[in-house]
Chain A
Amino acid sequence: MEFSDSVMKGLQTLADPNVFDQKSFTIFTEVAFDSLVSPRGESVLGHPELKHIDQTNLKHCHTAATTFILEGVKQNADKSTISSCLEDVRFQNERVDTFYNSFQKNKRNLESLLSSIDTCPPHITDAEWRLEYCIKNSHVHKVNQPSYLISLNTERAGTSSEINFNCTMEQLQDLVGKMKDAAKSLERATQS
Chain B
Amino acid sequence: MLLVLSEEHKEHLGFLSEVDPAVVGEFGRIAVEFLKKGSNPKIYEGAARKLNVSSESIQHGVEGLMYLLTESSKLMISEVDFQDSVLVLGFSEELNKLLLQLYLDNGKEIRQILSKLAPSLPHYRNLEWRLDVQLASRALRHQVKPTVTLKLHLEDGAQRSAHVLQTDPATLQHLIHELERALAELKSNHCRRILRNIK
Contacts and interface: CB of A to CB of B under 8 A. Distances in A.
A pairs with B: yes
Given A176-B179, A176-B183, A149 B121 contact: yes
A27 interface: no
B179 A129 contact: yes
Interface stretch (A4-12, A45-53, A159-167): A159-167
Interface stretch (A29-37, A57-65, A117-125): A117-125
Interface string B185-199: 110000100110011
B183 A173 contact: yes
Contact of B140 (A115, A186, A190): A115
B102 interface: no
A179 B118 CA distance: 30
What's the dominant secondary structure at chain A's contact region? Answer: mixed
A154 B168 CA distance: 12
Given A74-B140, A121-B149, A121-B164, A131 B111 contact: no
Interface residues of B, number: 60
Interface stretch (A14-22, A88-96, A133-141): A133-141
Contacts of B19: none
Interface string B140-166: 111101111110101000000001111
A178 B119 CA distance: 28
Contact of B114 (A139, A171, A178): A139
B148 A186 contact: yes
Interface string A66-87: 0000000111100000000000
Given A173-B183, A176-B176, A123 B139 contact: no
B127 interface: yes
A84 B128 CA distance: 49
A138 B166 contact: no
Given A120-B166, A141-B75, A165-B154, A133 B172 contact: no
B115 interface: yes
A139 B195 CA distance: 21
Interface string B114-136: 11011111111011110100000
Nearest to A164: B121
Contacts of A174: 124, 126-127
A180 B131 CA distance: 13
Interface string A140-177: 11111010111010100000000111111101111110
B46 interface: no
Contact of B175 (A75, A117, A124, A139): A124
A121 B132 CA distance: 13
A101 interface: no
B182 interface: yes
A122 B114 CA distance: 36
A2 interface: no
Nearest to A123: B166
B114 A140 contact: yes
Nearest to A130: B182
B124 A123 contact: no
A178 to B, nearest CB: 5
Contacts of B154: 165
B40 interface: no
Given A120-B166, A186-B172, 7 more contacts: A115-B137, A122-B166, A129-B179, A138-B118, A148-B182, A175-B179, A179-B175
15 contacts: A75-B141, A124-B150, A127-B178, A139-B114, A140-B115, A141-B74, A163-B165, A165-B122, A166-B123, A167-B124, A168-B123, A176-B183, A179-B129, A186-B131, A186-B148
